[in-house]
Amino acid sequence: MKPHLQKSSILLVSVVSVVSSFAPPAAAEGTREPFAEQRAEALFRRALELMDEGRHARACPMLEESRRLDPAMGTAFRLAECYEHTERLGEAFMLYQDVAAQARRRRAEDRAEVARARLAALGPRVAVVNLIVPDEALKEPDLSITWDGREIERTLWNAGIVVTAGAHVLEAAAPGKRPFRREVVVGEVGTLVDVEVPPLADERTRQLIVLHPEPLPRPMTLEDRRWLALGALVVGLGGLTMASIAGLSTSLETSGTAGDLDPGGASMTNATAIAGMSLAGVGLFVAGSLWTPAPAGDVRFAITPGPGGGAGVVQVSF
């Protein structure tokens, strides 16, 4: 259960330890920007004119830059007023607290009293967020934490920051780490809300995988067709030679020059002749088709068996 802050004075005590760090550090004399005081004064006067016109959204950035150049107490007070009119109540509260602390140190009781009055009025309208950053997360040197898009200084970590009621966005990021984002809902004003920033996990490395598709086979060129045609021609001629030898053997046996006719040998010779003629026909047909890519039907061949089943004549025309 969130503790409820009954009085604005309790709210002041909860953030008193971090107020001094809210103010920008004064630059050393040797490192001040040229004409810093003159520029700060010009910005301050122009911002007051805009505030008198009700244009606080434009005045606040000018006062912020003026305060950066010359962190005067009066500039902080006017910037708190500007924040108050633009509903940045948490930042206004912190600045009023800073002004009250500076006024007490300078014994400017009138300014301190005005700042305390503004704090008393703002107290019931704001809440305190206790930003918890564990030691493991603190080891990350480049860790940055933002609240509603505005970076929170390290001096405010593990301390209280004053915010308004409603939904807020807490983000943490660091190089090589997975960013953290959380929506924090402050339900009521005058409450103390604990919010923890966990140690950031290592970011997963993404590997780029490039797929190289296999190249498509190149189309057959005319030269390839010619080489295949020559191979088929050799096969066809070999079949023709085999058929011719078988036919000659059959012719000799039929004429009686080779002795008595062996029926088994004659059948084998006839089968060899037919196989040779078939091989010759196919080989020559394929060779002719590949050598000259002509439309189907333009290549004609005929196989005429010889007398008695012997070697015949193969006719191929293109």
Per-residue pLDDT of the chain (318 residues; tens, 9 = 90+): 344 443 333 343 344 434 444 445 444 444 667 788 899 999 999 999 999 999 999 999 999 999 999 999 999 999 999 999 998 888 888 889 889 989 999 998 899 999 999 988 888 888 888 888 988 888 888 999 999 888 888 888 887 788 888 889 999 999 988 999 999 988 877 778 888 999 998 887 666 677 666 666 667 677 777 777 777 778 767 767 877 776 677 666 666 544 455 555 566 766 776 776 777 777 677 777 767 654 444 444 445 555 544 445 545 444
In a domain, 203, yes or no: no
Q: Are residues 170 and 240 in the same domain?
A: no
Phi/psi at 259 (5° precision) = 95, -165
Q: Are residues 188 and 79 in the same domain?
A: yes
Q: Are residues 99 and 158 in the same domain?
A: yes
Residue 164: what pLDDT? 83
Q: Are residues 111 and 180 in the same domain?
A: yes
Of the CA atoms within 13 Å of residue 18, those in its CB half-sphere come to 22
Of the CA atoms within 13 Å of residue 28, those in its CB half-sphere come to 2
Q: Are residues 138 and 13 in the same domain?
A: yes
Q: Are residues 308 and 166 in the same domain?
A: no
Q: Are residues 183 and 230 in the same domain?
A: no
- Per-residue buried b or exposed e for 258-285, using 16+ beta carbons within 10 Å of the residue's own CB: eeeeeeeebeebbebbbebbebbbebbb
Write down which residue in 156, 178, 196 finishes a domain. Answer: 196
In a domain, 1, yes or no: no
Residue 66: what pLDDT? 93
Tokens of 179: 């960013």
Side chain identity at residue 246, one-letter code: A
Side chain identity at residue 259, one-letter code: G
In a domain, 36, yes or no: no
Residue 9: what pLDDT? 35
In a domain, 212, yes or no: no
Residue range of the domain that includes 181: 8-25+71-196
Q: Are residues 160 and 226 in the same domain?
A: no
Q: In whole angstroms, what is the distance from residue 235 CA to residue 64 CA?
A: 96
In a domain, 268, yes or no: yes
Q: In whole angstroms, what is the distance from residue 222 CA to residue 208 CA?
A: 42
In a domain, 47, yes or no: no
Residue 10: what pLDDT? 36
In a domain, 44, yes or no: no
DSSP 29-83: GGGPPTTHHHHHHHHHHHHHHHHHTT-HHHHHHHHHHHHHHS--HHHHHHHHHHH
Q: Are residues 21 and 78 in the same domain?
A: yes
Q: Are residues 185 and 229 in the same domain?
A: no
Q: Are residues 228 and 268 in the same domain?
A: yes
- What's the domain count of the chain? 2
List, in sequence order, every residue forming a beta bridge with 129; answer none if it has no partner.
161, 193
Residue 205: what pLDDT? 65
In a domain, 152, yes or no: yes
Length of the chain, in residues: 318
Q: Are residues 182 and 230 in the same domain?
A: no
Angle subtended by helix axes 89-105 and 73-85, to nearest 10: 160
